[in-house]
């Protein structure tokens, strides 16, 4: 069945059997050796074979990034730590690892310095521990292959072996021998022999090489992101439960801070990985705009990825919520004092007392006579619930660059390794999948306390880089199934997520053929493909359901995107919703729903007219702030009037969409 052994340091001699490892019972892994697992009780406890460790623990960086690049990236980390100790403040001089042994004061040496994790328990915790930080490696980094002093690969290999702590001797074969003459094949060649038994090795072990792989290849500090309230809306407008809410604002906001780990090193390592194949002329596009990517369906998309992850150590969102609530209440009738109190007519108090007590008459009124106890009129309460929704958005640092470098960009790692996507017969189109984590809201009267916070692109990075690239690198049968969207078809009709089965709905004055015609020529005759025909019924039905003018909604759709003409210009904001994570470009459904929320939100301006709506829609404030904005506002309304004149002749623009 084979045997388990370690290499013999003496050349040409057989390997030495290792009693602490044993064959795992599988087929031989090359030669006569079997796949082996350790039986050392002090070794790391694993429940998988060494073969599976080789497959599963060798991630894309280790498999794809050349050793020289990894070594020099770690060397740069060391140099940054050294500079920081000297005042440059680049990074933390973090702990790399620990050695365990006994220091001999007389010779200032550590006896048997065993490299091991710093947080050990049990027997090892009783041995003195020495902590080693990044800056200690300043004079112990591996040799650089491109260094001119190494004139041959032989010289570099000897230097590298010596850095690893081995003793090496170089043997050169002369070009010719006195008796044999010239040696045309091996003459002038050399080889080296190294041994592991370094003099004094037990007293001064070489832990620098052994722990060098523990040094990170980039900065490891957390990056700061945030989550904030981006808009407010009243769910009670125009009226809900007899309460009308107006003037909703959220001011003096202090966003909550989020602390993201691994984002900086992921972006740095992705950049290094791209450098291994991107040409000099293409380096400016390493984090280019995504191509052949289907955006998430909406903010409520079901297709997300989530795991336990890291704690973001979130702080609290702080701000002042202001609103005005108008409502009415009916109270129980308060009886007035009537009748006479004997022996004299005196003031009476509502008491609800018992007849015949001497202080009360008729069981309802208590007389203000000596000895009587007046009872105050009981208070009556009126309580109403007010429902106000607060929409939040998060800022995730570096995520766009990482998404582009690893998956979606034109020079991404995924696209260089995986078969071409979004072409006829291919596996499909990349999906922009968000990540998700649980988030808790606390406060007086909050109706929803447990929900989730979505992070853009994180799920797609997990799906296509972590799973997809490793699937491509692993042996057949060890890969995982990946999720793809349908191809655009290659012929170029694009794709859209509207409800194309929405029932046919008529709108007073609307000429659908003319609306379809103007949509098709919005970017020029024959340019791209508009989706008016496929999606207009969805627009009309959804707008009607929400109480929004459907004709106005159609006009905005045509004006903002040529009725979602994705192929004419992409990415495109279907209904003009800009910088809203819940309504990304090329996402018809999310853009439509976000637009239909605007009238209630814009009602906070107080004045409901078309100028106010378009000013908020285009500039973000209730009225133009300068002559240029006034001119652009007038032009926008003029263009809407022109669209109306074609798609619904004789119908005037509404003063307010709702």
Type and span of the H or E element at 181? strand 181-182
| Positive/negative CA dihedral, 148, 154, 160, 163 | negative
pLDDT tops 70 at residue 371: no
Give the mean pLDDT of 172-182: 62
Alpha-carbon distance of 193 to 201, in angstroms, equals 18
Does one domain contain both 418 and 529? no
- 242 pLDDT more than 90: no
* Alpha carbons 169 and 10: distance in angstroms, whole number: 12
Residue 553 maps to a domain: yes
Q: In which domain, by residue range, is 255 found? A: 223-320+385-473
Of 473, 489, 524, which marks where a domain is finished? 473
Least confident of 48-57, 340-349, 570-579: 340-349
Domain final position from 194, 214, 234: 214
Residue 489 maps to a domain: no
Q: Is 484 part of any domain? A: no
For position 559, what pLDDT does the model report?
Answer: 93
- Put residue 563 in one of left, alpha, beta given phi > 0 → left and psi -120 to 50 → alpha: left
pLDDT of residue 23: 67
**219 to 77, 117, 215, 223: CA distances (angstroms):** 7, 20, 10, 10
- Whether residue 484 is preceded by a cis peptide bond, meaning omega within 30 degrees of 0, is no
Residues 176 and 283 in one domain: no
Compute the average pLDDT of residues 598-622: 88
Mean pLDDT for 269-295 is: 82
Residue 84: other Cβ atoms inside 10 A: 16
373 lies in some domain: no
**pLDDT attached to residue 198:** 45
Concatenated DSSP letters of 376-435 = PPPP--------EEEEEEEE-TTHHHHHIIIIISTT-HHHHHSPP-SSTTSS-BEE-PPE
Residue 52 — very low, low, confident or very high, per pLDDT cuts 50/70/90? low
pLDDT for residue 112: 61
Identify the top-confidence range among 384-393, 414-423, 606-615: 606-615
Average pLDDT over residues 488-516: 76
357-374 mean pLDDT: 46
* Both structure tokens of 371: 């000895």
| Buried b or exposed e, range 608-642, using 16+ CB within 10 angstroms | eebbbbbbbbeeeebebeeeeeeebbeebeeebee
DSSP line for 271-318: HHHHHTT--GGGGGGTTPPP-SEEPPS-TT-S--B--S---------E
Which pair of tokens denotes residue 328? Answer: 């009415």
Handedness of CA 200, 205, 208, 209 (dihedral sign): positive
Same domain, 195 and 229: no
Residues 104 and 168 grouped into a single domain: yes
Written as six digits, the tokens of 574 are: 């279907």
Residue 480 lies in a domain: no
CA distances from 558 to 504, 508, 515, 550 (A): 19, 18, 8, 12
- Maximum Cα–Cα distance across the chain: 153
Q: Are residues 73 and 209 in the same domain?
A: yes
- Report CA torsion sign: 455, 460, 461, 466: positive
| Choice between 424 and 325, residue whose per-residue pLDDT is larger | 325
Contacts of 115 (CB under 8 A, 6+ apart): 97, 98, 99, 207, 210, 211
pLDDT at 43 over 60: no
- Under 8 Å between Cβ of 99 and 207: yes
* Count of the separate structural domains present in the chain: 4
Tell me the per-residue pLDDT of 96-137, one tens digit each, with 9 for 90 and over: 888 877 666 666 665 666 777 787 666 666 777 888 899 989
- Do 133 and 240 fall into the same domain? no
169 and 272 together in one domain = no
Residue, of 198 and 211, whose pLDDT is higher: 211
Residue 24, pLDDT > 90, answer no
Does 247 or 405 have the greater pLDDT score? 405
pLDDT at 389 over 90: no
Distance of CA 286 to the CA centre of its chain: 19
Sign of CA dihedral 404, 406, 411, 417: negative
Same domain, 46 and 143: no
| pLDDT beyond 50 at 344 | no
| Parallel/antiparallel/unpaired status of strands 430-431 and 293-294 | parallel
Q: What is the Cα–Cα distance from 432 to 461, expressed in whole angstroms? A: 9
Out of 191, 214, 237, pick the residue that ends a domain: 214
266: Cα within 13 Å, side-chain hemisphere: 22
Q: Is the pLDDT of residue 185 over 90?
A: no
DSSP 451-505: EEEEETTHHHIIIIIIIIIHHHHSPTT-------BPP-TTTT-----S-TTPPP-
Question: For residues 446 and 485, what is the distance between their CA atoms, to the nearest angstrom?
Answer: 38
pLDDT above 70 for 275: yes
Phi-psi region of 351 (alpha: psi -120 to 50; beta: other; left: phi over 0): alpha
Query: Is residue 88 domain-shared with residue 187, that is, in the same domain?
Result: yes
pLDDT tens, position by position, 441-474:
766 666 566 677 788 888 889 889 888 888 888 7
Q: What is the pLDDT of residue 525?
A: 65
Average pLDDT over residues 488-493: 42
Report the percent of the chain where pLDDT is more than 70: 69
Beta bridge partner(s), residue 100: 114, 129
pLDDT of residue 245 exceeding 70: yes
Q: Given pLDDT bands bounded at 50, 70 and 90, which one contains residue 592?
A: very high
461 located within any domain: yes
> Does residue 215 register a pLDDT over 60?
yes
CA-to-CA distance for 429 and 189, rounded, in angstroms? 54
Give residue for tokens 């006994």.
Answer: 102
The closest alpha carbon to 563, from 615, 491, 512, 504, belongs to: 512
- Tell me the average pLDDT across 245-270: 88
pLDDT band of 554, cuts 50, 70, 90: very high
The rounded distance, in Å, linking the Cα atoms of 43 and 50 is 13
User: Which has the minimum average pLDDT: 195-209, 326-340, 345-359, 562-576?
Assistant: 345-359
pLDDT, tens digit, for every residue of 616-652? 998 888 888 888 889 899 999 999 999 999 999 989 9
Give pLDDT tens digits for 403-432: 999 998 888 999 888 877 877 667 778 888
Q: Per the domain annotation, does 245 fall within a domain?
A: yes
Peptide bond before residue 343 is cis, with ω within 30 degrees of 0: yes
Q: Are residues 417 and 528 in the same domain?
A: no
Same domain, 22 and 163: no
Strand, helix or coil for residue 582: coil
Q: Taking the CA atoms of the chain, what radius of gyration do you get in angstroms?
A: 38
Q: Is residue 205 part of a domain?
A: yes
| pLDDT tens-digit map of 68-85 | 888 999 999 999 999 998
Rounded to the nearest integer, the mean pLDDT of the chain is 76
Distance CA(195)–CA(9), nearest Å, equals 6
Position 364 scores a pLDDT of 44
CB–CB of 80/217 below 8 Å? Answer: no
Q: What distances in angstroms separate CA 475 from CA 420, 425, 471, 483, one per listed residue?
A: 20, 23, 8, 20
Q: How far is CA 195 from CA 9, 13, 208, 352, in A?
A: 6, 13, 18, 105
pLDDT of residue 588: 92
The reported pLDDT for the residue numbered 445 is: 64
Residues 302 and 417 in one domain: yes
């Amino acid at each position: 069945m084979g045997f388990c052994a370690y290499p013999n340091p003496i050349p040409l001699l057989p390997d030495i059997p290792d009693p602490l490892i044993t064959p795992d019972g599988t087929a031989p892994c090359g030669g006569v050796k079997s796949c082996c697992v350790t039986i050392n009780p002090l070794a790391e406890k694993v429940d998988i074979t060494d073969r599976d460790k080789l497959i599963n623990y060798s991630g894309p960086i280790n498999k794809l990034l050349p050793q020289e690049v990894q070594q020099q990236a770690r060397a740069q980390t060391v140099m940054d730590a050294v500079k920081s100790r000297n005042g440059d403040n680049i990074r933390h001089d973090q702990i790399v690892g620990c050695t365990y042994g006994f220091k001999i004061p007389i010779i200032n040496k550590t006896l048997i310095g065993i490299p091991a994790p710093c947080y050990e328990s049990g027997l090892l915790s009783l041995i003195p521990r020495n902590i080693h930080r990044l800056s200690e490696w300043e004079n112990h980094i591996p040799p650089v292959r491109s260094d001119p002093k190494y004139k041959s690969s032989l010289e570099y290999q000897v230097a590298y072996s010596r850095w690893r702590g081995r003793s090496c001797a170089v043997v050169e074969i002369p070009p010719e021998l006195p008796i044999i003459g010239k040696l045309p094949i091996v003459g002038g060649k050399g080889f080296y022999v190294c041994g592991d038994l370094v003099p004094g090795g037990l007293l001064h072990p070489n832990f620098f090489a052994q722990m060098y792989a523990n040094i990170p290849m980039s900065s490891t500090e957390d990056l700061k992101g945030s989550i904030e309230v981006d808009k407010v809306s009243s769910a009670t407008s125009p009226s809900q439960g007899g309460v009308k809410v107006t003037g909703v604002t959220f001011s003096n906001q202090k966003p909550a801070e989020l602390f993201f780990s691994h984002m900086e090193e992921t972006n740095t390592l992705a950049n290094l990985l791209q450098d291994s194949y991107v040409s000099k002329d293409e380096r400016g596009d390493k984090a280019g705009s995504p191509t052949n990517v289907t955006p998430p369906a909406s903010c409520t998309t079901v297709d997300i990825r989530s795991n336990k992850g890291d704690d973001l150590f979130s702080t609290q969102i702080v701000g002042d919520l202001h609103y005005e609530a108008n409502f009415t209440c009916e109270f129980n009738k308060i009886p007035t004092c009537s009748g006479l109190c004997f022996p004299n007519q005196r003031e009476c108090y509502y008491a609800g007392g018992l007849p015949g007590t001497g202080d009360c008459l008729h069981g309802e009124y208590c007389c203000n006579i000596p000895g009587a106890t007046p009872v105050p009129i009981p208070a009556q309460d009126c309580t109403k619930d007010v429902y106000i929704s607060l929409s939040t958005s998060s800022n995730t640092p570096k995520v766009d660059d990482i998404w582009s470098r690893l998956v979606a960009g034109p020079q991404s790692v995924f696209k260089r390794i995986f078969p071409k996507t979004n072409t006829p017969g291919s596996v499909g189109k990349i999906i922009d999948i968000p990540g998700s984590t649980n988030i808790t809201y606390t406060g007086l009267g909050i109706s929803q306390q447990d929900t989730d916070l979505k992070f853009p692109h994180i799920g797609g990075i997990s799906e296509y880089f972590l799973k997809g690239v490793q699937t491509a690198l692993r042996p057949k049968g060890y890969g995982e199934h990946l999720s793809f969207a349908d191809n655009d078809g290659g012929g170029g009709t694009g794709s859209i997520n509207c409800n194309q089965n929405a029932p046919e709905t008529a709108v007073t004055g609307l000429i659908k053929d003319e609306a379809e015609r103007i949509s098709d020529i919005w970017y020029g005759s024959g340019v791209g493909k508009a989706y008016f025909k496929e999606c207009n019924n969805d627009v009309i039905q959804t707008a009607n359901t929400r109480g929004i003018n459907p004709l106005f909604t159609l006009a905005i759709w045509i004006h903002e995107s040529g009725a979602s003409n994705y192929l004419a210009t992409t990415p495109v904001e279907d209904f003009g919703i800009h910088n809203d994570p819940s309504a990304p470009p090329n996402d018809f459904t999310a853009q439509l729903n976000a637009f239909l929320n605007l009238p209630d939100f814009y009602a906070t301006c107080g004045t409901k007219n078309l100028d106010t709506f378009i000013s908020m829609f285009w500039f973000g404030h209730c009225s133009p702030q300068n002559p240029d904005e006034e001119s652009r506002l007038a032009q926008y309304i003029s263009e809407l009037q022109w669209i109306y004149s074609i798609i619904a002749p004789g119908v005037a623009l509404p003063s307010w969409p709702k």
